[in-house]
Amino acid sequence: MQRFQYYIDGQFLDGEARFPSVDPATGKEWADLPEAREGDVDRAVKAAEQALYNGAWSKMTATQRGKLIYRLADLVAANAQKLAELETRDTGKIIRETSAQIAYVADYYRYYAGIADKIEGSYLPIDKADMDVWLRREPIGVVAMVVPWNSQLFLSAVKIGPALAAGCTMVVKASEDGPAPLLEFARLIHEAGFPAGVVNIITGFGTSCGAALSRHPKVAHIAFTGGPETARHIVRNSAENLASTSLELGGKSPFIVFADADLESAANAQVAGIFAATGQSCVAGSRLIVERRIKDEFLTLLKGKAEAIRIGAPLDMATEVGPLATRRQQEHIAALLDKSLQSGARLITGGHRPGGEGFYFAPTILDCDGVNSPSLVNEFFGPVLSVVSFETESEALALANDTHYGLASGVFTQNLTRAHRLMKGIRAGIVWVNTYRAVSPIAPFGGFGLSGHGREGGMAAVLDYTRTKTIWLRTSDDPIPDPFVMR
């Protein structure tokens, strides 16, 4: 059993209690983890507040902060393989994905390192001749960050990077399902030389650790990635401290394929969009909306690709789909799939749990044409694709927008004017055209509707971690008149 500690005020600590982590590939315990409770949360938040207002961090220039973030980026790059192996072991995400993703995470930190000394205020041409007025952008305060188990080093980087660039301090709560990579990442924060209290990393359960963090009176902003139900609890808790929130909540993303598309390219993108990360991705293209006259041809192509996917041990570089992160998730998918089949959906391929140990589920395709299937509405968060067809562009757009979510979408067509109409008409924070799952530090992402609000990535994220202060300076040497003397 590997033993991990959490990181508060520059120290590695064991916490008030401990709990085990389960290897999704075997279903067996492999690590011993610290469980933060309310007292630990209070200590972490107070350490962050002290660092923000009184510590060495508060006296650093923006350029100095940027250099520290650059150092962190180099450490992430140097330790990417170790972090990738930990994430694979703790969450079941395959090593070929974690290795590539964490290597790219370093670029996110480099991007925000460069932004640190480019966060500018402004001068206002005010309507008073004897006044100069400026707007300053200052750190919003102590930030609570709640990060899920899937792609956690990426989903923490798009929070930690911009918050550090803005000059904030933070408490990061890693998910109790697979927190080992973030707890190990704390060692890189320490090695990079960030002052004590700037970044605090803990883990624990929602009802104790998460609730205490989101309602703490000294938290100014909450950045959360997860599901809508947990987000509702966070928003209710934020009524206690009136913290602002940014919420990235997943989705039921449409993937539209027209008859004129390059079908081989679209099929490859669809496979990546729904089966990569075992479907455990907030932007998973889980609703295929395909033009009716090519539906059978496209499904035959997809079925062949899905059935050729190699399912196996996540630490094997040859594996293409690994296990789900938890037994709970495996059971949720099986139950929702059963309801969908009972509603009339037709199984094209998959739909079963492969034999042996671990939390595996076979890549699955459901034909839901003409069926009111639960699979079209509910997020599986697993390797299950639901398919419907359309006749006209307007019907495709209506189907795409027939959801309470709105995080991502994909459009495959060679018709440029049609693509532009759909870019405008789809209600989602991301529209990928003739590609899918492309990301960059420069490009923000976020959702509409139940997919949340706020943006992560790009300059927009940095501004979310600042607030403006208005400075008024009177330039006249004349005394201010007595307001109670009539003239």
The two structure tokens encoding residue 390: 């359309």
Q: How many Å apart are CA 95 and CA 423, to the nearest integer?
A: 34
DSSP 3-state of 474: strand
Are 436 and 254 within 8 A, CB to CB?
A: no
DSSP 3-state of 83: helix
Q: Answer positive or negative: Cα dihedral of 475, 481, 482, 484.
A: negative
Q: How many Å apart are CA 379 and CA 371, to the nearest integer?
A: 17
Question: Measured between alpha carbons, how far is residue 446 from residues 113, 126, 232, 264, 287 in Å?
Answer: 22, 35, 17, 29, 19
**Which amino acid makes up residue 64?**
Q
In angstroms, how far is CA 15 from the centroid of its own chain? 26
- Residue 382 CB partners (closer than 8 Å, separation 6+): 278, 279, 280, 324, 329, 330, 332, 333, 361
CB neighbour burial string for 67-77, b if at least 16 within 10 angstroms, e if fewer: bbbbbbbebbb
- Residue 236 CB partners (closer than 8 Å, separation 6+): none
Alpha helices per DSSP H over 92-210: 95-115, 152-166, 180-192
- Residue 237 CB partners (closer than 8 Å, separation 6+): 211, 214, 215
- DSSP assignment string, 258-316: -TTS-HHHHHHHHHHHHHGGGG--TT---EEEEEGGGHHHHHHHHHHHHHT--B--TTS
Q: Is 184 a catalytic residue?
A: no
Residue of 396, 373, 399 whose CA lies nearest to 385: 373
| Strand bridging mode 452-453 / 244-248 | antiparallel
Q: How many Å apart are CA 449 and CA 421, to the nearest integer?
A: 21
Number of H helices, E strands in the chain: 15, 21
Catalytic one of 87, 248, 320, 456: 248
Q: How many Å apart are CA 324 and CA 318, to the nearest integer?
A: 17
Residues annotated as catalytic are 248
